[in-house]
Amino acid sequence: MTSFSAKPLFNKDCGLLVHPTSLPNKYGVGDFGPSAIAWLELLAQHGQTIWQILPLNPAGYGDSPYQGLSAFATNPVFLSPEDLHVRGLIDDNELRFFELENGSAIDFPVVYSNKAELSARASLRFFALDAADSLRLKYADFIESEADWLESFALYSALKESFGAVAWTDWAEPFRQREPEALARAANELDVEINRVRFEQFLLREQWNEIRATAHRLNIRIVGDLPIFVAHDSADVWCERELFHLNADGSPSVVAGVPPDYFSETGQLWGNPLYAWEMHRADDFAWWRKRLRKILNWVDVVRVDHFRGFESCWEIPGDAETAAIGRWVDAPGREVFNAFLEDWGFPLPVIAEDLGVITDRVIALRDDFQLPGIRIEQFAFGSDEMKATFLPEVYDEHCVAYTGTHDNDTVVGWFTSRAGENSTRTQRDIDTERTETLNYFGTDGSEIHKDFIRSLYRSNAAATIIPVQDLLGLGSEGRMNTPGQSSGCWSWRMMSYIDVLEPLAELSALSKICSRGQVMLSSSVAR
């Protein structure tokens, strides 16, 4: 195994995992406005040094951020009405107009409609500004510097809207096949819509800049998420189809997923087209290098989802109905990461999500590039052959430890679950896990989420990151995603920050006892 000679990414850090959509406000969905700033201030006040988020890309099928409509664009639902009001792009009455009833779940259709109207009104005022206005000048710089992805995404978005939001493979053939004359005509006819998309992406960047500057001032690093695959219905596949395995009609010839596992007895059929790696290799992985560069303009460290896909991918026929039938095919991960290393050097600001079927080759790829892997404490109990590696006492100082991820049930939901509810586990499996868990902690399980959190903080893990639902001790009602479920996910929200104050205070005290987070950062600075 490679020795870790580079300065590590983390040093007894700690933080919380919560997507911006889950932050509370008056507008139906968390956004890049004052609530996000308030969240960062809460984290800093309570000793945290990490805010981990999910992908910020425009959500596609099933409202999933892992089925993004672009690998480079940002979801317009994050536009903050409050920020647009401060900038004079909507008035007082409009700000009140965009308020929605506060609830514990996002009503995505209503939110999408609301944010589209917000964008339309604000963009009208924006483009009425004098061209010499400082904001317009910044906009001009933005669209020039981001043209390598923005122009194609803006045209894709405008065309998608004009075709009733159907997938690009269902558009009229001249547009599906990207005939130059048809695209030129569309660019002219859809000029207003294209400008609105550019405007959205510019303002999202402006709003996020304030969030990130606040995070840096407060010594909090933002950990982003890079899904290894992109959605078939995306600007990326529509524009650069030679980079993917597609049929002549644009449909994917083979798709990504994972074989039957803990989450599903038929596997997970993600449906993302697999990469034509020989084409990526031909231009020295330029698309991948751009992708990492762009996301690291937004976040400080990036978690690569399904890292093992860089070693080999579960290839499923494009017309398959489940992921049960497939095969592992090699991927050139070592070449990709050598390219990353040329751009960034050691340590690469990357966390490897190394879960699932992990081989010696996957471990070697992770360790040779000195990437921290992750450990999920829920996996430490039950029948998993690797369960001993997920116990906190064996964590080393190179891993990032979690109670669970966005794909897991909450700790309380997992502990109190019953057979047949979003799991392949039998009642015997569940009972065994519960007994092992109680024996391990030596408690009655009444505060099982706190048992998990305390054990993570006391471990040697380089960083501990807790989903906010586990901090709050929520049951399955707080679950963010259920793998294999096509709808009804990604909608959980905090109602307010009041409920999180007491748990955060307890976490702050724990971080001091365990010398984690801001406490560790302060002692390092003092030395």
- Active-site positions read 305, 353, 407
Residue in the structure block whose two tokens are 């990526």: 280
CA distance 326 to 257: 9
Token pair, residue 5, equals 């000679």
Q: Are 242 and 279 in contact (CB under 8 A)?
A: yes
DSSP notation for 299-351: -SEEEEETGGGGTEEEEEETT-SSSSS-EEEE--HHHHHHHHHHHH-SSPSEE
Nearest Cα residue to 149 out of 211, 230, 227:
230
Phi-psi region of 88 (alpha: psi -120 to 50; beta: other; left: phi over 0): left
The angle that helices 360-368 and 333-344 make with each other, rounded to 10 degrees, is: 10
Q: For 91-100, which contacts have Cβ atoms below 8 Å and span 24 or more sequence positions?
A: 94/118, 94/121, 98/27, 99/26, 99/27, 100/26, 100/27, 100/28
Q: How many CA atoms lie within 13 A of 221 on its CB side?
A: 19
Give the largest CA-CA distance in the chain. 71
Instruction: Give helix 286-295 / helix 333-344 axis angle, nearest 10°.
Output: 50
Residue that the structure tokens 């560790």 belong to? 520
Separation of alpha carbons 453 and 108, rounded Å:
32
**Strand 268-273 and strand 254-258: pairing?**
antiparallel
Angle at 200 between CA 22 and CA 132, to 5 degrees: 140
- Percent of the chain as helix, strand, coil, to the nearest 5: 45, 10, 40
- How far is CA 475 from each of CA 416, 436, 470, 491, rounded to the nearest angstrom? 8, 20, 8, 15
